Amino acid sequence: MKAIEQYKIITFTHRRTDLNGIGQFVLRPKTEEQAVLEQLHAFKQQIGAKEIYYLSTCNRILFLVLAQKEDKGKAFKQKFMQTLYADLSETLQAKALKEAFLYEGLEAIDHFFRVSASMDSLVVGEREILRQLREAYQDNLEQGLTGDAIRLLMRFTVETAKKVYSSTRIGEKPVSVVSLAVSKLMQAQLPPSSRFLLLGAGQTNALFAKFLKKYGYHKVTVFNRSLKKAQELAQDFDGEGLLLNQLGEYRKGFDVVVAATGAKSALLTSSLYGQLLGQEAATSSKLLIDLSIPNNIEPTIAEQYPKAQYIPIESLRELAQKNLAFREQELERAKEVVEEQLDIFYQAFKERLIELALREVPIQVKAIRQHALNNVFKKELADLDEESLALLDRMMAYMEKRCIAIPLQVAKQNMLKED
């Protein structure tokens, strides 16, 4: 068995397990005092792993393991699952065994590279996964779970992800509805003094609000069923948080409405829109962004008020699909980058093995030199003058370097040829 085969990945992803199902296999603390990563120390010893790395995201659970040489294939996967999920029901254990992917050796490296470059993500090209991988590595490292092999792999993983993003267009063209909505907003070239009404204070509008802050918009009023949530989101802008049922009474004007609630019918109707306009001319330009299903903004507003630009979620989703298709076309070029990086990593991995195997050579050669000077030829050296001693020392230093370098070079060449 080649040393590279000791790299293993066991993972649950959206490709075989639905998102709710993935949640069933997330590691949870057995006690309040013991964190998940601390528990992995015991697990690592139980399965005899040399190193282990754990990552959990909303659509992926991944274990990267440096296993013993004898651990391989289905037997390793079964031992891993039965030990890790011993507390789960037999039904869930069977499900875990069936739905988890196992990658070994270069396939494991290839998978890890693809994950880092968001080639295996639910949304291809989203860079968030690389940040998550790096943060997880830091956490695992601090807990003493990882070692030299995973360190080397992480170095090349980050390098690979960066090369994929720099040499392909896999990360171009926004594919999230919120990002596309913000793009539409930026195309409108509205001044920083524009007034925003956010209908809803959930995740969608919270994310939209972050973009508003990023681009310098500061006049924001938030309407929500929960007053507390509305006020919490509005306070980031020193704005006002109000209840949704107060929308009809609002008379402070607006330039943009962004709706994202779970309401089952339109919140902003044509008649309410007229009330919100107040003293402003019905011909004044307004931007209406509807990020809700079903629509929270009545589409007929744009028919009745021609200066109201209506952007429904359906149009954004269609554009998102087109952009996602574009990103997926870039996968072929990304695969080429990964294949190139695989070869480079494998070479580096083999050289590192040689370095580790031969790290005693320099120590032993230095020890022989000191023994020769201080013991074997001690009497003879006592009769030499300072100039002769200095020359001898230089000669010994040269011989020491050559005696270290030559066997290392020969060993490297032979091992690489044999492989």
Q: Residue 349 — very low, low, confident or very high, per pLDDT cuts 50/70/90?
A: very high
Q: Please, which residues bridge with residue 224 across strands?
A: 243
Rounded Cα gap, residues 333 and 377, in angstroms: 64
Nearest to 108 by CA among 14, 8, 15: 8
Structural domains counted in the chain: 3
Determine the pLDDT at residue 33: 53
297 has pLDDT over 90: yes
Rounded Cα gap, residues 305 and 409, in angstroms: 79
Has residue 43 been placed in a domain? yes
282 has pLDDT over 80: no
Tokens for 118, please give them.
């968001």
97 has pLDDT over 90: yes
**What percent of the chain has a predicted confidence (pLDDT) above 90?**
58
Has residue 325 been placed in a domain? no
pLDDT digits (tens, 9 = 90+) for 351-388: 888 888 777 777 787 888 888 888 888 888 888 888 88
Has residue 297 been placed in a domain? yes
pLDDT digits (tens, 9 = 90+) for 205-223: 999 999 999 999 999 999 9
Tell me what the mean pLDDT of segment 328-353 comes to.
93
Please report, in range form, the residues annotated as the binding site for substrate.
57-60, 121, 126-128, 132
Determine the pLDDT at residue 176: 81
Residue pair 301/330 in contact (Cβ under 8 Å)? The answer is no
Angle made by CA atoms 142, 144, 145, in degrees to the nearest 5: 110
User: Do 159 and 26 share a structural domain?
Assistant: yes
Q: Residue 418 — very low, low, confident or very high, per pLDDT cuts 50/70/90?
A: low
User: Do 199 and 159 share a structural domain?
Assistant: no
State residue 102 phi and psi, 5-degree precision: -120, 125
User: Do 181 and 168 share a structural domain?
Assistant: no
Determine the pLDDT at residue 59: 84
Rounded Cα gap, residues 378 and 395, in angstroms: 16
Please report, in range form, the residues annotated as the binding site for NADP(+).
200-205
The contacts of residue 266 (CB under 8 Å, 6+ apart) are 295, 296, 297, 298
Determine the pLDDT at residue 405: 77
CA 130 centroid distance within chain: 3
- Domain extent at residue 400: 358-418
105 has pLDDT over 90: yes
CA 181 centroid distance within chain: 24
User: Do 184 and 132 share a structural domain?
Assistant: no
User: Do 81 and 194 share a structural domain?
Assistant: no
State residue 269 phi and psi, 5-degree precision: -95, 170
Could you say which of 35, 42, 58, 363 is catalytic?
58
Residue pair 267/295 in contact (Cβ under 8 Å)? The answer is no
User: Do 109 and 87 share a structural domain?
Assistant: yes
Residue pair 242/227 in contact (Cβ under 8 Å)? The answer is yes
Q: Is 403 a catalytic site residue? A: no
Q: What is the CATH number of the domain that holds 7?
A: 3.30.460.30
User: Do 115 and 74 share a structural domain?
Assistant: yes
Between 40-44, 94-98, 374-378, the lowest mean confidence (pLDDT) is in: 374-378
Determine the pLDDT at residue 69: 84
pTM of the model: 0.70
Rounded Cα gap, residues 348 and 71, in angstroms: 23
